[in-house]
Chain A
Amino acid sequence: MAYLTQGETGEWETVIGMEIHAQITANSKLFSGASTLFGAEPNTQVSIVDAAMPGMLPVLNAYCVEQAVRTGLGLNAKINHTSVFERKNYFYPDLPQGYQISQFLHPIVGEGRIEIDLEGGKVKEIGITRLHLEQDAGKSVHDLHPSKSFVDLNRSGCALMEIVSEPDINSPEEAVAYLSKLRMILRYLGTCDGNMEEGSMRADVNISVRKPGDGLGTRAEIKNVNSLKAVQQAIDYEVARQIEIIEGGGKIVQETRLWDPNKGVTRSMRSKEEAHDYRYFPDPDLLPLHIQADWIAGIKETLPELPDQKKHRFIGEYGLSPYDAGVLIAERNRAAFFEAVAKGRDPKLAANWVINELLGILNKNATALDDSPISAAQLGALIDLIADNTISGKIAKDVFPLMYETGKDAGQIVEEKGLKQVTDTGAIEAVIDSIIAANPDNVAAYRGGKDKLFGFFVGQVMKETQGKANPAAVNDLLKKKLDA
């Protein structure tokens, strides 16, 4: 069912295309040897190239090219053997060159596509128009002084991939799913850390509305949409704004708008049409980039299993539900952790323990999986204790938080606390006999047809044995004795 917004004159369709800026994971900048590390003192990670001192020449970082190609392959996209760096000209204090080195007519990566996951297990394909390499700008700080702005060039010259989607996205939910999926793929590939708080991934959203069946409406470009929540809110706001204008007899102006996360509105960035006249031309400092087929083939060999492939494998190989598989593949290290736990064990049990218990307790303690006090081997050993009847699943849930607190192995905790399951039928029988003797009324009632009382007897045995009796053995023996 398509996503439609009800206006006063009927229903409206939303058309969205996204431009994602993703900072490439690399040690040094796209055209200089300065560090890209986040959070350094202002203007310390700046070379004279980044500061655009006269006469400095850019030299392209081979690894950034490799990362862009790797990303293109991960997006099922065409890699262009020849691409060209061009100058995008504009003035802003955090752009010391007076132009951004970018790619325009000949990007390094052409058309591709990814699948996004929607509610109810539905999948939709979103086209990728292109991916190109460009320099990031510096950072302006506006709130430290009433009449001055402060400029830090540490980010200036860091390598960005701009990933442009086709206008295939039709709702805020799809936009969020697209951004999440793209982020997941980039993190799997190791080409961008996907950290939206630190600005490693930033989104611009192009939005227009139309009556179903009509041609494309005029779009507005929303900038500064830098979280999944902001994507949802900015689209909701902008769709309502555009419908209200059109239904009020107005026209949408093609313009750039800024999302204000504090006020929850988009506002026009006083767009003179001139501001978009960037006068691109090939950068005379840089020759065209030629990429050989064997280099691309070599990069292809380094591609990891990607999220969708992994998801399908988890469903097929381990028999997991699409939901569980989706949770486990969300992070590459999470999937690896699960596979280590599942190896040689019941995969569904392993998935349950990782998702419900481990991720639950980590989340509660705001701890990352990499810092988990319980290793995959330790969790696996706990599951082994359940599988070989050393402890019951219920006892295991008591052991688990103790493992988390102490970092000890499950076996050691079971030993120390004396939690070993009683499988000795003689011992269980003795307990059952005493309970039957102590509850003649209930025994009579049960034998008289009150089947539900069976649970009462199980509870009594478990209470008596502090939960350590093997539940299957208790069931068997109780049945035998009560039905005798």
Chain B
Amino acid sequence: MSMDKETVRKVASLANIEMDEAELERAAAQISGIIDWVEQLGAVNTDNIEPLANVANIELSLRADSITDGNYQDKILANAPEHTQGFFVVPKIVEQQS
């Protein structure tokens, strides 16, 4: 499978990455190469084999429902380019998403 330039352009825009035409060409070629390399795995017959989530056979660990974190507004806001009254401040966004 190869990755054409238009697909790369779409993925780049979804990822909020700005790329010029030359970069798109280069990325399309590189990503196609990577995909082709990974696709060799397709040669292995995986019929009737459960998907493998991890190789160490461990279970997802869960935690108890207790409050153990938070209450450090200053740390949370420390890297914000702009903040006021405890809020992050960002350029106006009108539409809601999700």
Contacts and interface: CB of A to CB of B under 8 A. Distances in A.
Interface stretch (A38-46, A340-348, A426-434): A38-46
A258 B73 CA distance: 32
Interface string B64-81: 111111111101110000
Nearest to A46: B76
A147 B72 CA distance: 27
Given A142-B92, A153-B76, A274-B13, A92 B98 contact: yes
A42 B73 CA distance: 8
Of residues B54, B62, B65, B96, which shows the largest number of chain A Cβ atoms within 10 Å of its Cβ? Answer: B65
Contact of B93 (A41, A149, A269, A282): A149
B50 to A, nearest CB: 10
Interface stretch (A62-70, A436-444, A466-474): A62-70
Interface stretch (B28-36, B38-46, B82-90): B82-90
Given A28-B66, A60-B60, A48 B89 contact: no
A268 to B, nearest CB: 10
Contact of A151 (B14, B87, B98): B87
B97 A92 contact: yes
A107 B87 CA distance: 34
Contact of B91 (A65, A149, A277): A149
A4 interface: no
A223 B96 contact: yes
Given A42-B85, A286-B60, A26 B94 contact: no
Interface size class on chain A is 35 or more
B1 to A, nearest CB: 17
A27 B66 contact: yes
Interface of A: 26-28, 32-35, 41-49, 51, 59-65, 88-93, 95, 100, 137, 140-142, 144-153, 223-224, 258, 269-270, 274-275, 277, 279, 282, 286-290
30 contacts: A27-B66, A28-B65, A33-B66, A33-B68, A34-B70, A43-B73, A48-B75, A51-B76, A59-B63, A60-B60, A61-B65, A64-B65, A88-B98, A90-B98, A91-B16, A92-B93, A92-B98, A140-B96, A145-B92, A149-B89, A149-B92, A150-B84, A150-B85, A150-B87, A150-B90, A151-B89, A152-B88, A153-B88, A258-B96, A287-B60
